Chains A and B, each alone.
Chain A
Amino acid sequence: MSEHEVTLTINGESVTRPVEARTLLVHFIREDLSLTGTHIGCDTTSCGACTVLVCGKPVKSCTMFAVQANGAEIETIENLAAAGTLHPLQEGFWEKHGLQCGYCTPGMIMSAKGFLADNPDPTEDEIRHGISGNLCRCTGYNKIVEAIQYAAEKLQAADAGGE
């Protein structure tokens, strides 16, 4: 039943908190840090509603202990428009109707963010496989794929534009 002090960077801000060893990262984010944009949809690491970036990589925060994130950099959905403008993925999801109930959306967007960092110019099939760890019950995925394509184009254009 060990308790630990965890220091990590969340959305650019350093925080230190005591946690019980068994605290799941997703509960730490949602309850200890009150960042409720990250959701929970299953018990079996199947749905991806809890996806966050840990040191830039999208992972399922329900299948990691908060203590394991000691020293890590974590990014959640709340950070994407922190500067005041929507991230191209957020724009894409809005523009292309990539969400309905919105419950899977933060996980989808974070997953797509990690995916596009690895594969900036994906085919449709690669996008579908890229988000295969994230379930959406509402949209039928067509429009999520379009939203990610929209963001990919926009991010690439920005890359090409800015030296």
Chain B
Amino acid sequence: MIPAAFDYHSPQSLDEALSLLQRHAGDAKILAGGQSLIPAMRFRLAMPSILIDINQLNDLRYIEERADYLAIGAMTLEHSLEDSPVVRSSYPLLRDTAVVIADPLVRNMATVGGNIAHADPANDHPATMLAYRATVVAKGPKGERTIAIDDFFTGLFENAMAEDEILTEIRIPKPSANSGGAYTKLERKVGDYAISAAAVQLRLDGSKVAEARIGLTNVSAVPMRAKAAEAELVGKSISDAVMEATGKAAAGECDPSPDLRGGVDYKRDITRVMVKRSIQQAVARAKGGK
């Protein structure tokens, strides 16, 4: 399994990368961690004629808490999320997600930006970023722009960026008080893509759920938010019945395909269970649990 030949560029700055990308628009692909792209190239499912390796852009590797959001540079390694104290203390949903992505070796190469840019519904970050109401920062020849995560995923492996844009940063709004989040993932074996997974981020107001967003993994052709499920949850006091109704709504609105991971009925029902379990954990965290 050998990739087809290509031309390789290793720009030393973002501007250089952007101008290369502009020059070769259509033929070039960005190489980030390579953990999705290189396997695809080995099977010749992807045969870019030009690769622009952005691993030299160390400026894009950071996790910084700013005034009202957490900024994650696109080239931040998954492994760095696991290790980050601020992620650990304040963004448990993100940490839950990072540790169930692939395996430790892949996480030493794979980037957060790549995970999102790839727009693979099987990837874990999309659901999490949807639940967080994150913002994606993209830079192109015309400068920088932000894209709301709700507008980012436009199709299977398709995103809202132009061919000559590079994803540079992801911004996660700082969770307000009484917030909690959790990611629950069912996999066939450790490191596998999800059979189904649910990301839940919510805010409590007393016993009531004041806000909630739910993202789902690998149960639709495009990474999706479970809006009907959110509607079941918001404004309600947490109870088994409410969680069940929320789970059921998510099961109803997701659109899984049957494959080796299971049939449609199974995936829907597991989605129900994943959503319930994530809510339970998110609520516990909102109340000050671990």
- Which single member of A2, A44, A115, A118 contacts B8 (CB below 8 Å)? A2
Any B CB within 8 A of the CB of A37? no
A48 to chain B minimum Cβ distance, whole angstroms, is 6
**Are A4 and B38 in contact, with the CB atoms below 8 A?**
no
B-side interface residues toward A, CB under 8 Å?
Answer: 1-8, 10, 31, 34-35, 38-39, 41-43, 51, 53, 55, 79, 83, 102-106, 108-109, 190-191
Chain A residues with Cβ below 8 Å from B8 are 2, 4, 21, 65, 67
Interface of chain A, main secondary structure: mixed
- Which single member of B5, B53, B55, B105 contacts A133 (CB below 8 Å)? B105
Interface range on chain A (Cβ under 8 Å from partner): 20 to 34
**Are B104 and A132 in contact, with the CB atoms below 8 A?**
yes
- Which single member of B3, B35, B53 contacts A22 (CB below 8 Å)? B3
Interface core residue of A1, A20, A63, A129 (most chain B CB under 10 Å): A63
Interface of chain B, main secondary structure: loop
- Which single member of A64, A70, A115 contacts B10 (CB below 8 Å)? A70
B2 and chain A: residue at smallest CB distance? A22
- How many residue-residue contacts, CB under 8 A, span A and B? 86
**Are B35 and A133 in contact, with the CB atoms below 8 A?**
no
A-side interface residues toward B, CB under 8 Å?
Answer: 1-2, 4, 20-22, 24, 43-45, 48, 51, 57-60, 63-65, 67-68, 70, 111, 114-115, 118, 129-130, 132-134
- Alpha-carbon separation in the docked complex, A68 to B3 (Å): 15
Chain A residues with Cβ below 8 Å from B41 are 22
